[in-house]
Structure 1
Amino acid sequence: MTAGIPGTMVIRDEKGQLHILNLTQQTQLSAQFKVGDKVLAFFSPYGVSAVQLQIGNR
């Protein structure tokens, strides 16, 4: 489990690689995930600490 850093979000992509995103730059989120992708978010005391792409039927 990755510790959440305030103001950032750790995202694991479908290859298992981790990406640290700045929550103030939402364009990074739209580039990482496509519309219709299912994601699983993990919450910490700071807010969302990680978002995992759910592999499956679309």
Structure 2
Amino acid sequence: MNQDQATYDAFSKAMEFWSKLWRQNYEQSLAFWAMMGQSVPRASARELAAEAESMKSKT
């Protein structure tokens, strides 16, 4: 039983590490694409508003 607990603890710590790493990568990717999206020119404010509304309905 003690060996099983040690294995579980090691696995748990490894999964926690990789989950945190994945989350940080995901958040940084979102921040990057948000910055890129702000720099893309739009023909009009109406076009930008329509795009924002379509994104809201997808989530």
Is the TM value for this pair above 0.5? Answer: no
Higher helix fraction (1 or 2): 2
The structure number with the bigger radius of gyration is: 2
Pick the TM interval, shorter chain.
Answer: under 0.3
Higher strand fraction (1 or 2): 1
Q: Which has the higher contact order (CA 8 A, sep 6+)?
A: 1
